[in-house]
């Protein structure tokens, strides 16, 4: 078992790299994936999104350590254990991130990753339907669309934002992210358009690409160079040799775990675990970030929500229509309206995200309200809190220790209180007058800072956007794990390319930026010239210093 490039993980970035690296038939590529097939309606039917991330068949089943600022709760931390990785179990929401996110990356040491540099890669990877011409891709593997937004509540949400004085946007992935508008989905022809469907399955048709179902135990080094991967399959320990490079794309949890198991990480921690230190990199596992969110739920006076579709008969009919025709309610994730807004004057670009849903229900599909309702998922996007991923033991089969330290910065509480109060302001607009019933959560009687803090402590949930644990930056920065070409600093023949390399979390959902990382990393790995920088200028609110809207 030998190839030029051995990729650990078939997720968003891994699948993209498998495809791009194998376009040249001279390059032999092996992809290592522990999870199984992505076939079947639980993954491929968009409306079934709450199922796969709660199934041990498809999810690694990780949990956080007790979070002290969330009442000691242990939050679920799903990551895909299946072909396509987390792109096969996510909510299929497509967000590029804001231009200023990438400009910050570059300022913080990730040279060549500014917005002008990454925009051409987003354009290369997309086939956008309904996006802004000139800003979007038209011939890439990743199909992106808008939902039909037939439910009048979607329009009411966007109009309510306008009535409250906020911007609207025709395409938050185009020139102007800020504002209320339609949400984009990685759905194509009625199916989840995962990285596996977009990139990996076409690549596997090539004779120079092989997929090995196995458990990656550690990276094998010889004289400071990564030369292969030790794997386990069928109860046997084997090795896969890499003639050119090993590329880790195993998630913000498993990528740092693999590096540490292989001797790359904080030397004192590795020695405590009895692991021989190959290279001291204190940043491995540090800088863990995520988005937290809350559901603000409102009862709906008109019977127009998805509540009437939650019974078994309706679900069976929706499933049958999707199975035979790939149409109907089963062909959407039902996140079809959204907003990106700024929390206050002086904030240059959006720092709050809304997902709007025409039903009052938890993300995992449990505990639906016993009435027609609608809800906004809302949360701040640039928390100052940081966590870490560490080894539980030197046993590769042990889950890593995941500590987010959610809400550990005082500004997090202020930001979340504002999110709740702002959502109430949106729902109080005239556009919702015909639909607005009592507030289901938190409940209008909860108005004080103390009351809202208690609600946040008990009900804030992860948006499942972990990143940052193998931070990209300057090679002379001790915080950095990889340099701007995704090479692990201090060793040869090893790269990391997935959401773990983000210096700072991007605005919105992370699947799109993770695929972009795989696209751009491929050109670095192959030594190709980077795509020409874009000269497009993104929209920044001219009133940003004076107003939040």
Binding site annotation covers 288? no
Whole-model pTM: value is 0.98
Average of pLDDT values for 380-405? 98
Give every CB contact of residue 315 below 8 A, 6+ residues apart in sequence: 309
Torsion from C-alpha of 75, 76, 77, 80, nearest 10 degrees: -170
Picking from 467, 437, 465, 502, the residue whose alpha carbon sits closest to that of residue 379 is: 465
Q: How confident is the model at residue 363 (pLDDT cuts 50, 70, 90)?
A: low
Binding site annotation covers 518? no
Is the pLDDT at 367 greater than 70, yes or no? no
Q: What does the pLDDT read at residue 368? A: 66
Binding site annotation covers 218? no
With b for 16 or more beta-carbon neighbours within 10 A and e for fewer, the 354-385 pattern comes to bbbbbbbbebeeeeebebbbbbbbbbbbbbeb
Binding site annotation covers 5? yes
Average of pLDDT values for 423-441? 97
Q: What does the pLDDT read at residue 46? A: 97
The whole-angstrom separation of Cα 159 and Cα 167 is: 10
Supply the residues annotated as catalytic: 465
pLDDT tens profile 170-195: 999 999 999 999 999 999 999 999 99
Q: What does the pLDDT read at residue 370? A: 80
Is the pLDDT at 364 greater than 90, yes or no? no
Q: What does the pLDDT read at residue 49? A: 93
pLDDT tens profile 236-255: 999 999 999 999 999 999 99
Binding site annotation covers 65? no
Binding site annotation covers 7? yes
Binding site annotation covers 198? no
> Can you point out the beta strands (E) in 365-466?
373-380, 388-390, 401-403, 436-441, 461-462
pLDDT tens profile 71-127: 999 999 999 999 999 999 999 999 999 999 999 999 999 999 999 999 999 999 999
Asked whether the CA dihedral 23, 29, 32, 36 is positive or negative, the reply is positive
Binding site annotation covers 20? yes
Binding site annotation covers 119? no
Q: What does the pLDDT read at residue 365? A: 66
Average of pLDDT values for 292-318? 95
Is the pLDDT at 226 greater than 80, yes or no? yes
Asked whether the CA dihedral 364, 370, 376, 379 is positive or negative, the reply is negative
Compute the mean pLDDT over every residue in the chain, rounded to the nearest whole number: 97
Average of pLDDT values for 261-283? 98
Binding site annotation covers 33? yes
Binding site annotation covers 15? yes
SS3 494: strand
Q: What does the pLDDT read at residue 503? A: 98
Tokens read off for 447:
């108005």
Q: How confident is the model at residue 416 (pLDDT cuts 50, 70, 90)?
A: very high
Average of pLDDT values for 394-401? 98
Q: What does the pLDDT read at residue 443? A: 95
Q: How confident is the model at residue 454 (pLDDT cuts 50, 70, 90)?
A: very high
Picking from 217, 144, 153, the residue whose alpha carbon sits closest to that of residue 183 is: 144
φ, ψ at 5 (rounded to 5°): -125, 130
Q: What does the pLDDT read at residue 132? A: 97
Tokens read off for 446:
């909860």
% of the chain at pLDDT higher than 70: 99
pLDDT tens profile 42-73: 999 999 999 998 899 999 999 999 999 999 99
């Amino acid at each position: 078992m030998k190839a030029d490039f051995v990729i650990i993980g078939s997720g968003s970035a891994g699948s993209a790299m498998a495809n791009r690296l194998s376009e040249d038939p001279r390059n032999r590529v092996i992809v290592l994936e522990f999870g199984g097939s992505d076939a079947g309606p639980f993954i491929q039917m968009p409306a079934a999104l709450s199922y796969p991330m709660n199934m041990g068949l498809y999810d690694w089943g990780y949990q956080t350590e007790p979070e002290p600022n969330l009442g000691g709760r242990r939050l679920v931390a799903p990551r895909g254990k299946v072909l396509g990785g987390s792109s096969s179990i996510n909510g299929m929401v497509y967000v590029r991130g804001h231009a200023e996110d990438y400009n910050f990356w570059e300022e913080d040491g990730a040279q060549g990753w500014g917005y002008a540099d990454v925009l051409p890669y987003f354009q290369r990877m997309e086939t956008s339907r309904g996006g802004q011409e000139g800003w979007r891709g038209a011939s890439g593997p990743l199909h992106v669309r808008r939902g039909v937004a037939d439910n009048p509540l979607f329009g009411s949400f966007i109009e309510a934002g306008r009535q409250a004085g906020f911007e609207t946007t025709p395409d938050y992935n185009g020139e102007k992210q800020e504002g209320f508008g339609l949400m984009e989905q990685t759905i194509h022809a009625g199916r989840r358009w995962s990285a596996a469907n977009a990139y990996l399955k076409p690549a596997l048709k090539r004779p120079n690409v092989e997929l090995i179902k196995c458990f990656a135990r550690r990276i094998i080094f010889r004289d400071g160079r990564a030369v292969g991967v030790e794997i386990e399959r069928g109860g046997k320990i084997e090795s896969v040799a890499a003639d050119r490079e090993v590329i880790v794309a195993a998630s913000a949890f498993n990528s740092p775990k693999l590096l540490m198991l292989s001797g790359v990480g904080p030397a004192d921690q590795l020695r405590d675990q009895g692991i021989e230190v190959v290279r001291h990199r204190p940043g491995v596992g540090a800088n863990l970030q995520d988005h937290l969110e809350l559901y603000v739920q409102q009862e709906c006076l008109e019977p127009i929500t998805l509540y009437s579709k939650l019974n078994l008969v309706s679900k069976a009919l929706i499933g049958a229509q999707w199975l035979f025709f790939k149409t109907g309610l089963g062909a959407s994730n039902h996140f079809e309206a959204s907003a990106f807004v700024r929390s206050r004057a002086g904030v240059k670009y959006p720092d709050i995200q809304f997902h709007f849903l025409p039903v009052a229900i938890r993300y995992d599909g449990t505990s639906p309200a016993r009435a027609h309702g609608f809800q906004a998922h809302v949360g701040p996007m640039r928390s100052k809190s940081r966590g870490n991923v560490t080894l539980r033991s030197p046993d590769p089969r042990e889950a890593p220790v995941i500590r987010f330290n959610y809400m550990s910065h005082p500004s997090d509480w202020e930001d979340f209180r504002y999110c709740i109060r702002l959502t109430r302001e949106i729902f109080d607009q005239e556009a919702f007058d015909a639909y607005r019933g009592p507030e289901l959560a938190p409940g209008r009687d909860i108005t004080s800072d103390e009351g809202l803090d208690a609600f946040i402590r008990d009900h804030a949930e992860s948006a499942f956007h972990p990143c940052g644990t193998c931070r990209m930056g300057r090679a002379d920065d001790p915080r950095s794990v990889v340099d701007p070409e995704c090479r692990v600093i201090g060793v040869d023949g090893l790269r990391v390319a997935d959401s773990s390399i983000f210096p700072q979390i991007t605005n919105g959902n992370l699947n799109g930026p993770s695929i972009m990382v795989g696209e751009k990393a491929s050109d670095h790995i192959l030594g190709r010239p980077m795509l020409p920088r874009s000269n497009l200028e993104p929209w920044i609110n001219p009133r940003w210093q004076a107003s939040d809207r």
